[in-house]
Structures are given as C-alpha cells and as structure tokens.
Amino acid sequence: GKRALVAGVADDGGFGFAVAKAFAEAGASVCVATWPPALNIFLNLLERGKMDESRKLRDGSLLTFERIYPLDAIYDSLEDAPDDVRSSKRYKDVGDFSIGGLAQRIAADFGDQSLDIVFHSLANGPEVKKPLLEVSRAGYLAASSASAYSLVSMVQRLAPLMRPGGSVCSLTYMASERAIPGYGGGMSSAKAALESDTRVLSFEAGRKYGLRVNTISAGPFASRAASAIGI
C-alpha cells in the first residue's frame, strides 16, 4: 500500500485532517506532522475520543495515524531553533521537531523509499491581519518561512525518501495572483512564492527523483487558521 505524510494537522477542523482522511479512505497508511505548540492538545483530543465522529471512515472503522510526528517547519535542523524555543514547555520533550529531524525519523521508522505522498497543509502569517502597507520585515519573512520555504525544505529532505512516481502537494490561495483585501501579513507574497516554487520544484524533483509537485488553490474553509482572518 501507499504511505502518505500530511504535514499541518492539529485538529479535525482543517484541510490537513480532511486530506488525511481521504488518503485513508483510498487505502493509504497516513502519518501526520503536528506543530509542537498544538501537539499535546491534538493528542488529548484523540485520546479522549473527541474526534471519533470525524474520524469515522466509510467502513465504520476510525481513522488512525501510523505516526504523529512533531514538526516546526520554520526549522531545517534542530540547531536552527533558538535555545529559548528548544527549552520551552511545548518543545523540550518532543525530540527533533525540525524538517531534517522529521526526515530522519521517517527514514528510521520506515527506511528509504518508504513514502509515496507528501502533503503540505501548513501556513503561518503572524501579521496576517495587517495590510501589506503595514507589514514589518520580520512578519513578512516569517510568513514566507513558514508558508513557502517550508515546502522547499520538505522537498529537499523528504524527496530522497520517496518512491519514484510519488507526489508532493500543497495548498495555496488565489490572493497570490489577485489583490484580495484581508489576506495580509505577506501571506499573499508567500503564496506567490509557493506557486512559483511548485513550478521549479516539479521540474527539478521530477528530473532528480521522478516525483510530481503540485499545489491546489483552495476555496474558503473555516479552519482554525482561516477563522483568524474571518473566513
């Protein structure tokens, strides 16, 4: 069977969960990667059965995750994370939460050529409510780091673990190509980068690894992230 990794699942209310569920319905085993600040809450919800209704698959069984990895996609290696993050409550006990750490864990758990699908369903724009006219350099770069470079880094580190013919996919938003008020904080810029990077990565990773790289421009969905901007 196929194995999928969905990065950016921390509850049952976002695209990542729905995508993970669809992969499971199609017969794949599904691993997810969760932002450390949200990891404990997610594990608690799972354990206490709070998501059993949404986990229900067509055959009556419950969606289960083969692994739940910690992931903070703004770090490529553990050394990149500042000490105050590494020693903070939500991060200190989860092990290597970087993208490099994720790749190492997957390689250790399943070996090389063990992944068929990598689905990137994460974004973060700390100043998303600010129009571009008011966005700080730090806010703009943070949005690009979490929402665009994270894909580049994931392909760099996970493509070598993927089987030829495998597929990488992310989610974007039309504000990359049209001016849409309310999608601020440099998130429109980050999505434009994500879309351009998708074209270049599909060329490069297509040739080097035989992979496909795509992005889907999503419609509105009242996830946790989207509720922050009033969707």
Site for ligand ZID contains 100 (CB under 6 A)? no
Strand order in the sheet with 162-172: 68-70, 29-34, 3-7, 115-120, 162-172, 212-217
Q: Where does this chain touch ligand ZID (CB under 6 A) — which range of 4-12, 45-53, 105-113, 207-215?
A: 4-12
Give the residue, chosen from 98, 121, 144, 176, that forms a contact with ligand ZID under the rule CB under 6 A.
Answer: 121
Selected from 1, 60, 220, 230, the binder of ligand ZID by CB under 6 A is 220
Residue 146 — φ and ψ, nearest 5°?
Answer: -75, -35
| Of the residues 98, 124, 144, 176, which one makes contact with ligand ZID according to CB under 6 A | 124
Contacts of 14 (CB under 8 A, 6+ apart): 8, 121, 221, 223, 224, 225
Which residue number, 165 or 182, has a Cβ lying nearer to ligand ZID? 182
Contact 215, 152 (CB under 8 A): no
First to last CA, the chain: 37
Find the shortest distance in angstroms from Cβ 54 to ligand ZID. Answer: 13
Q: What angle do CA 77, 148, 167 make, to 5 degrees?
A: 85
Binding mask 12-31 for ligand ZID (x = CB under 6 A): --xxx---------------
Residues near ligand ZID, by CB under 6 A:
8-10, 14-16, 35, 38, 71-74, 121-124, 146, 171, 173, 218-221, 223-226, 231
